Amino acid sequence: MTSVPIPAPVLPATANLYERTLRELALGDDALVVMTAENRAALRTLPPLLGPRFIDVGIAEQTMIGMAAGLALRGRTPVVHALAAFLTMRAYEFIRTDVGIAGLPVTLVGGVPGFLSDGNGPTHQAVEDVAIMRGIPGMQVFCPADEEDLAACLPALLASKAPCYIRYTSGRPAATHPLPGEPYQIEVLAEGGDVAILTHGLLVAEALDARTRLAAAGISARVLNVRMLQPLDQATVLAAVRECELVVTVEDHFKIGGLFSIVSELLVSQGVAAQVLPIALEARWFQPAMLRDVLEHEGFTGAAIATRILARLDRPRGNVVGPNAHDPRIERSQALWTRARTLIPAGTQTLAKGPGQHVDGVAPKYASRGRGGRIWDVDGNEFVDLTMGVGPLVLGYGDPEVDDAIARQLQDGITFSLMHPLEVEVAELIRDVVPGAQSVRFSKTGADVTSAAVRLARAFTGRERVICCGYHGWHDWYIGTTDRHRGIPSASQDLVSTFAYNDLASLREALDDDTACVILEPQVVLAPAPGFLAGVRQLCDERGALLVFDEMWTGFRMALGGAQQAFGVTADLACFSKAIANGMPLSALTGRADVMQLLDKDVFFFTTFGGEALSLAAAAATIPALRQRRVPELLAARGQALKAGFAEITHHLGLDWTRLAGLDVRPQLQLDARVGDPLLMKSFLQQELVRRGILWSGFVNLCAAHRDEDLVYVLDACREILPALARAIERGTLRDELRGAPVEPVFRKTTAFHTRPRRNP
């Protein structure tokens, strides 16, 4: 190849960024040739600067493509220019045959594509150019947001030595580009978790404007500059689909064949379900006008895009996480509650989620969705969620890995007529991380497996009596120890008694040679006293009783292997649920093989849904994620920081009657009854937190998706609220300052709870 020198003239100041970039590339690459089919709008200063390496073929796009292909075959790197409509349609067959099939390094630059041909009629409008170019073998399709984006990426595109079609976009920068010069990666120009707006070209600026308008309505939008349509950065698109409620494609192109089609094809190929809103031209050309008027008329301004997104979401807008002028509006919650009260006994399926645990008339009652560490109620109010589904959501709402695992399994089925491999695979995962898990059985709820453990212990020991400490579910053997014992035979009640936590003497007095097992929560709030759990283990061994740990709250949370790992005491049987599957209904009974083998024939514990595959798929994703992300350690560190921050606030304010205590991964607020009614104090705190966009009901159930700034905001809110609470206590006006009915006692503190210790004769 003969080198053709570039003339010496200096580049004029009028040259645009694209021209300057081409000039610099040509200076460094003797093979680069610039060609045009009489479309010099963006190239008017180049002919005298490039000399014979600038070729104008006249209005002859087909001829230009043929010449470019010939030059490429001889080692040149042609960069050809024409109006996008003429280039992609008039010269299509030549591009397909001479460039695409041959795989030649010809770069095609289409001028005034899409809405940039604003003043032209249909013959000059390139609104199907992406679809046409995508059909050419090996063709890359690049749609920069602005001239800076194009200039930065041009060297990499030319270096790829692959045919490429560029939708030329000029004008001011649409955004600060986080990935300049990396054309094969999508740029995330703004983060958000509700909506993902995927766009390119001149509409990037409108998408960013739409994001600002959505934020004012309480909607968080992620904006993606999808500049390379082919090949597509699939990982970034799929991440947006997983992490956002709605995906919106915005393009100045026909809906068929462009960005919407590309995203839809990806989702179908990956078996991913998603809500997608296409904003595109509906198989018609646009009315010629000035560009701003075209955007207004066709509905592609930031305001119009935001309006369409809000209409698609069709959600009420309420309070946000932050200072709010008033309590959240809860009309929809109240209307649902009115319907529920006459239909659903107690109105709720879970006591801890019911209205009795929140200030009635102030706090929301019904949730509509969650994302990460936040929740939205049916009235559109947003909250940092410190309850997290009463424990299961250890990774957070909508964790991408877990949700993907569920979605993939859903494609194959939920419940089957045969056993499923996940039953074996998840059992092996649990065996590998839980001490003493020689055998594993699955069910759906914590009460299922604690009851199975008691039955199994009775069968193994041949004894009937049970001693418990903590909360263990709704089944007869346990609930008879509480004041909600109606319907429980007295004979069953007489077989179960309780003992006091951290009090080995009370356990020693209750144990006898007819005790089948001791079942307890290893830790709820108070940490076990030194030697307490080991002492329980020793007493059980001395009496021949089995030790059962109820690890609903400690399992897969305080350590991957739960309390047994954390405290170094191994139970004979251990029961798990909550965090095991990040919100899907699954429980596990684990333990010694010689005890568990009775489930083969002697003890009946089977259920239709024990092998339900969606929950097992969730567990198969959750357990490795907990290990790989070091979630127990992360939660403990955040809990320690939260407790220390709260202690600093109370010390500064001189308040010695409240503190955050208990598990680092699940702190509980404690309030001194000597100062005031703890339920009224809790109610005051809760209503003020709710107004500030924080949902809390006593415990702080931390999850991996809670952000550091969320917890800083919680502490800042407490710093504001605690002085007001102190003043109300001092004035004696605490009840009067509640704007709704106070919270009710939680189940653990109802009358006669844990007051049935049995003494040995």
What are the pLDDT digits (tens) for 80-132? 999 999 999 989 999 999 999 999 999 999 999 999 888 788 888 889 999 99
Whether residue 41 is predicted with pLDDT greater than 60 in this model: the reply is: no
| pLDDT over 60 at 40, yes or no | no
User: Does the pLDDT of residue 655 top 90, yes or no?
Assistant: yes
CB atoms within 10 A of CB 520: 26
Q: Which residue has the higher pLDDT, 540 or 42?
A: 540
Q: What average pLDDT does range 484-512 have in this prediction?
A: 92
**Phi, psi values for residue 372, rounded to 5°:** 65, -120
Residue 283: per-residue pLDDT: 67
Residue 10 pLDDT > 70 = no
pLDDT band for position 5 (50/70/90)?
Answer: low
The residue type of 613 is: A
Residue 264 pLDDT: 96
Between 34-48, 193-207, 349-363, the lowest mean confidence (pLDDT) is in: 34-48
Place 139 in a pLDDT band, splitting at 50, 70 and 90: very high
Residue 16 φ then ψ, to 5°: -80, 175
Long-range contacts, stretch 451-454, CB < 8 angstroms, 24+ apart: 451/475, 451/477, 451/478, 452/589, 452/599, 452/603, 452/605, 453/517, 453/519, 453/548, 453/573, 453/575, 453/589, 453/591, 454/478, 454/516, 454/517, 454/519, 454/548
- Reported in sequence order, the residue ranges of 551-648 that DSSP labels E, i.e. its strands, are 573-576, 587-591
Question: Is the pLDDT assigned to residue 750 strictly greater than 80?
Answer: no
Note the pLDDT tens digit of each residue in 558-569.
Answer: 999 999 999 999
Specify the pLDDT at position 365. Answer: 96
Q: What is the mean pLDDT of residues 447-456?
A: 97
| Residue range 289-306: mean pLDDT, rounded | 92
Residue 7 pLDDT class (50, 70, 90 cuts): low
d(CA 21, CA 169): 14
Position 355 pLDDT exceeds 90: no
The continuous run of DSSP H or E covering 166 comes out as: strand 164-167
Confidence band, pLDDT 50/70/90 cuts, at residue 526: confident
pLDDT at 491 over 50: yes
Give the model's pLDDT for residue 753.
47
Query: What's the pLDDT at 130?
Result: 96
Judge whether residue 752 has pLDDT over 50: no
**What confidence category does residue 373 fall into, taking pLDDT thresholds of 50, 70 and 90?**
very high
List, for residues 700-749, the tens digit of each pLDDT value. Answer: 999 999 999 999 999 999 999 999 999 999 999 999 999 999 999 865 44
What is the DSSP code string of 346-385?
Answer: GG-SSGGGSGGGS-BTTS---EEEEEBTEEEETT--EEEE
What percent of the chain stands above pLDDT 70?
Answer: 95
Q: In this structure, what is the dihedral angle of CA atoms 280, 285, 286, 289, given to the nearest 10 degrees?
A: 140
Residue 756 confidence class, pLDDT cut points 50, 70, 90: low
Distance CA 745, CA 54 (A): 84
What CA–CA distance (Å, rounded) separates 422 from 565?
Answer: 25
pLDDT of residue 133: 96
Greater confidence (117 vs 164) lies with 164
pLDDT confidence of residue 751: 39
- Residues facing residue 755 across a β-bridge: none
Supply the DSSP symbol for 757: -
Lowest mean pLDDT among 1-5, 74-78, 349-353, 536-540: 1-5
Give the pLDDT band (50/70/90) at residue 287. Answer: confident
Average pLDDT value for the chain: 92
Q: Is the pLDDT of residue 626 over 70?
A: yes
More confident residue, 39 or 501: 501
Return the pLDDT at 560.
96
Greatest mean pLDDT among 352-366, 481-495, 634-648 lies in: 634-648
- Other C-beta atoms within 10 Å of 241: how many? 23
pLDDT tens readout for residues 668-706: 999 999 999 999 999 999 999 999 999 999 999 999 999
Q: Which range, of 114-118, 342-346, 493-497, 661-665, averages the lowest pLDDT?
A: 114-118
Whole-number pLDDT of residue 755: 53
Q: What is the distance between the alpha carbons of residues 143 and 154, in angstroms, rounded to a whole number?
A: 11
Tokens of 14: 């009028």
Inter-CA distances, 656 with 3, 461, 530, 570, 653, Å: 84, 49, 26, 37, 9
Please compute the mean of the pLDDT values over residues 393-417 and round it to a whole number: 93
pTM for this model (two decimals):
0.71
Q: DSSP code of 124? A: G
Quote the pLDDT of residue 8. Answer: 55
CA 519 from centre of chain: 36
Q: What amino acid occupies position 498?
A: T
